[in-house]
Amino acid sequence: MDPFRDGVWELSLNGEAKGWVTSSVTPMRSFPLLWVKQEQMWTQVHWLGGGHEYTEEDYGPEWYAAEDLRGGRFVAFDPRTDLETSFDAILVAGAERDRLWARLEHGVEPHSRK
Helix (H, G, I), strand (E, B) or coil at 7: strand
Report the pLDDT value the prediction gives residue 37, as an integer from 0 to 100: 74
For residue 35, the model assigns a pLDDT of 59
Check residue 47 and give its pLDDT: 97
Q: What per-residue confidence (pLDDT) applies to 33?
A: 62
Helix (H) or strand (E) holding 97: helix 94-104
Residue-by-residue DSSP string for 17-83 = EEEEEEEEEEEEEETTEEEEEEEEEEEEEEETTS-BPPPEEEETTT-HHHHHHHTTEEEEE-TTT-S
Q: Which amino acid is at 15?
A: G
pLDDT per residue, tens digit, the chain (114 aa), is 788 999 999 999 999 999 999 999 988 766 666 656 788 999 999 999 999 999 999 988 899 999 999 999 999 999 999 999 999 999 999 999 999 999 999 999 998 987
For residue 91, the surrounding DSSP H or E stretch is strand 84-91
Q: Are 42 and 107 in contact (CB under 8 A)?
A: yes
**Prediction pTM value:** 0.90
State the Cα–Cα distance between residues 25 and 6, nearest whole angstrom: 8
